[in-house]
Amino acid sequence: MKQAVVHVYRGGPLLALVGNPNCGKTALFNRLTGSHQKVANYAGVTVERKEGKLATPAGKNLRVLDLPGTYSLHPRSPDERVTCDVLSGHAEGEKRPDLVICVVDATNLRRNLRLVLAVKRLGLPCVVALNMTDLAAQSGIRVDGAALSAALGLPVVSTVAVNTDGAAALLTLLDRPDTWKRTAPIGDGASAADTIEADHEVVRRILQGLGLDKAIPHLASDRIDRVVLHPLAGPPLLAVILFLIFQAVFAWAETPMNWIEAATAWLGNGVSSLLPHGWLQSLVVDGVIAGAGGVIVFLPQIIILFFFILMLEESGYLPRAAFLLDRLMGGVGLSGRSFIPLLSSFACAIPGIMAARTITNTRDRLITIMIAPMMTCSARLPVYALLIGAFIPRREVWGLLELQGLVLFSLYIAGIVGALLVAWLLKRFTARKLMHPLMMELPIYHWPRLRNIAIGLWQRVMIFMKRVGGIILVLTVLLWFLASFPAAPAGATGAPIEYSFAGMLGHALAVVFEPIGFNWQISISLVPGLAAREVVVSALGTVYALSATGNDTAGALAPLIAHSWSLATALSLLAWFVFAPQCLATLATVKRETGGWTMPLIMAGYLFALAYLASFITYHVALAAGWG
Amino acid sequence: MTLTLDQLPDLQACTVTQIAPPANAPEWHEWLEEIGFLPGERVMVMTRAMPGGDPLVVRVGSSTFALRRVEAACVQVATEPGMAGEGTA
């Protein structure tokens, strides 16, 4: 497996931010580094690596690593392992940090300070950033920084991640040479549990000395939770929020997507008139411009979905949603966190697969990614519309249902059932009796901060454009090449595509697809259809040598295929589209998100097998029913 | 019989006595302690998901965690006489 390239800023001492999850560490990181951030993966794992750079008042240039949040230095997830490995200097391709900033949630010192004690034992120079002091003050908690510093034997700076004051004090501290002094590591070989209990005792004494040994819950959060987590009111509220997100991704993105498609078409026409007719024009217009348009067209959905996800994440609602959905998803071995990625995949699998980043457990995340393409995405709709319109008669069933609508609905259901079945099978055969715990913190609520949302959105957009966009563009150009060369011989009677590499491939595939009822015309159109599922409609138009273009294709095509295909073939093709991995953009996204070609290849393989099986059964049942 | 966290009525404060993980997941002992379920800490069930009462929302110290019922069943607790209701001080 090829490892992800780690992008780093060169030179300068390395700082690492360490802290419990939900301690405001990433907000502080955003405050310290602003837009100077690089997002990649750690070598060999799918854990997000964020590095930034900053300059101290004295002009010292520093690199900052935002390590994954952890409750202790005894890792229980790949994320936490990265944090431990980097701090101990064992992480592959990572330098051991020169200084650690322990970010501590002032509202929860009891749990947070235990991690500080563990980090201090590593012997790395260490500074404590006492974060969220504003929220602590609201709850009546006032921490004496100087006294805490004396008790811990470490410098302590009060920070509020949203304000610049604390960050400035932190930067000033980094200019003092004694801040960077190393101490001897302390390792007494005690068992993990003993250390926790011993550290707990130390923390208890420190907090007693500071007069902070009372646990004060955040009352405003509790009031919100009384509604949000209410057994009866909570689930309907969640349903409304999820519906709004789904509606937004599905419907709001349509207008900007149409603009992008129109702009691509306009640019293509403009360039067509400038370049002489020939292969160069075809390459630029049908290859490059169409390919780039095919990348950018996903942006509205990605931006809208991640805007909502970041809002939910920042506010603290996301883990509550996961709590409410835990039981439902637990039935097939997934956790509540898989729900939003799967829901988004009904609009498009690409933002859905990217949204799987919010799933902390690696196995759950991988399974969610693997079943996401079975959710019926919007690109399948034009194909479904064509086939249903051509083959399924308009008539009422049982007085109130419409047959065409019923078929469309059952196609959606077939995808969901397929996905749940695969997840359930994976649970049965891969979980190995491994009990995967929930143990999920429900952090106190915050107002989402525009700055953090904007930085988060920008990073998602860049990840998609840079890492996924390139692959999609290259593959689109490759498909263009396959569909355009070699050119039709002089005096040829069929459509030019029939004589191209794609045509040859289609004719060869026709042998494979013959048992499921596909003729060679369908087989050929499946090749350019790899660019995106809806392209199959225009590709069929090309194969049948229709002169109509764009939206008229389906209208002209429907009577033609209704006449020349059997109903069994049409039903088989519908079944094929429920499962088939016919979207290179999705596979490219999976490659990027899992850090190698293994998962996309497995995905393509199993979905292909599933689609073939479903089509085979459908075709032969239909033949037996006399619809051949 | 030992009282465990999942058996408590909602909003009844109690104290952790020890963590008893299931035999096939001994690491839960450490994990539960790391997130704050340590002997002597005050805990209470805030609410439960419907239907089925699983998972649970649990207050430990000043933080809130969602635990499945099997996880909460690892936390052995003792109720304190004269201490009921919302007092988590």
Q: Is A232 on the interface with B (CB under 8 A)?
A: yes
Give the Cα separation of B16 and A52 in Å (integer): 42
User: Which residues in chain B touch residue A219, judged by CB atoms under 8 angstroms apart?
Assistant: none
> Who among B32, B35, B62 is closest to A215 (CB)?
B62
User: Which residues in chain B touch residue A439, judged by CB atoms under 8 angstroms apart?
Assistant: 31-32, 35, 65-67, 71
User: Could you report the per-residue pLDDT of A191-201, keeping only the tens digit for each?
Assistant: 666 788 888 88
- Reported confidence tier of residue A4, pLDDT bands at 50, 70, 90: very low
User: Could you report the per-residue pLDDT of A407-457, keeping only the tens digit for each?
Assistant: 888 998 899 999 999 998 888 877 555 557 888 899 989 889 888 899 989
What is this model's ipTM? 0.89
What's the pTM?
0.83
User: Which residues in chain A touch residue B71, judged by CB atoms under 8 angstroms apart?
Assistant: 437-439
Question: Which strands, in side-by-side order, build the sheet including B42-48?
Answer: A440-441, B63-67, B56-60, B42-48, B14-19, B75-79
Give the Cα separation of A244 and A35 in Å (integer): 30
CB contact under 8 A, A438 and B50: no
Residue in B14, B18, B63, B71 to test binding to A, most A beta-carbons within 10 Å: B63
CB contact under 8 A, A326 and B52: no
User: Which residues in chain B touch residue A229, judged by CB atoms under 8 angstroms apart?
Assistant: 46-47, 49, 57
pLDDT at A190: 53
Q: Is B78 on the interface with A (CB under 8 A)?
A: no
pLDDT at A435: 59
Residues A448, A290 contacting (CB under 8 angstroms)? no
Per-residue 3-state assignment (H helix, E strand, C coil) for A249-296: HHHHCHHHHHHHHHHHHHHHHHHHHHCCCCHHHHHHHHHHHHHHHHHH
Torsion angles phi and psi, residue A69, rounded to 5 = -65, 145
Q: Is B32 on the interface with A (CB under 8 A)?
A: yes
- Which of A49-58, A182-191, A404-413, B49-58 bottoms out in mean pLDDT, i.e. has the lowest? A182-191
Q: What average pLDDT does the segment A103-127 reach?
A: 90
pLDDT at A453: 92
CA angle A270, A271, A275 (to 5 degrees): 130
Give the Cα separation of A286 and A268 in Å (integer): 8
Closest-CA residue of B relative to A223 is: B46
Contacts of B7 (CB under 8 A, 6+ apart): none
How near does any CA of chain B get to the CA of A88, in Å?
A: 19
Residues A614, A561 contacting (CB under 8 angstroms)? no
**Residue A356 CB neighbour total at 10 angstroms:** 26
**Residue A460 CB neighbour total at 10 angstroms:** 22
Closest C-alpha to A527, from A457, A475, A587: A475
- Given a cut of 50, whether residue B63 has pLDDT beyond it is yes
Q: What average pLDDT does the segment A19-25 reach?
A: 89
Of A400 and A103, the structure prediction assigns the larger pLDDT to: A103
User: Which residues in chain B touch residue A217, judged by CB atoms under 8 angstroms apart?
Assistant: 59, 62, 64, 88
- Given a cut of 80, whether residue A284 has pLDDT beyond it is yes
Residues B59, B43 contacting (CB under 8 angstroms)? yes
Closest C-alpha to A100, from A40, A194, A183, A30: A183
User: Could you report the per-residue pLDDT of A463-495, keeping only the tens digit for each?
Assistant: 788 777 877 788 778 888 888 888 778 777 777
Sign of the torsion angle spanned by Cα atoms A419, A424, A429, A431? positive
- Measured in Å, how far apart are chain B's first and last C-alpha atoms? 27
Residue A64: CA count within 13 A, CB half-sphere: 26
Give the Cα separation of A596 and B84 in Å (integer): 55
Q: Is B26 on the interface with A (CB under 8 A)?
A: no
Closest-CA residue of B relative to A115 is: B34
Give the Cα separation of A502 and A480 in Å (integer): 9
User: Could you report the per-residue pLDDT of A568-624, keeping only the tens digit for each?
Assistant: 999 999 999 999 887 888 998 898 888 889 999 999 999 999 999 999 999 999 999
User: Could you report the per-residue pLDDT of A489-519, keeping only the tens digit for each?
Assistant: 877 777 777 788 888 888 898 999 999 999 9
Helix (H, G, I), strand (E, B) or coil at A81: helix
Mean confidence (pLDDT) of chain A: 84
Q: Is A81 on the interface with B (CB under 8 A)?
A: no
How near does any CA of chain A get to the CA of B1, in Å?
A: 25
Q: Is A192 on the interface with B (CB under 8 A)?
A: yes
CB contact under 8 A, A107 and B89: no
CB contact under 8 A, A218 and B62: yes
Q: What average pLDDT does the segment A521-548 reach?
A: 78
pLDDT at B84: 46
Largest CA distance in chain A: 95
Contacts of A548 (CB under 8 A, 6+ apart): A541, A555, A556
CB contact under 8 A, A439 and B67: yes
Q: Which two tokens stand for residue A141?
A: 């908690």
> Who among B39, B47, B52 is closest to A229 (CB)?
B47
Q: State CA A536 to chain mean position distance.
A: 26
Give the Cα separation of A187 and A123 in Å (integer): 10
CB contact under 8 A, A441 and B65: yes
Q: In chain B, what are the helix, strand and coil shares in percent, each to the nearest 5?
A: 15, 35, 50
CB contact under 8 A, A232 and B50: yes
- Rg from Cα positions in chain B: 12
Closest C-alpha to A446, from A226, A224, A233: A224
User: Which residues in chain A touch residue B35, judged by CB atoms under 8 angstroms apart?
Assistant: 71, 111, 439, 441
Give the Cα separation of A257 and A298 in Å (integer): 8
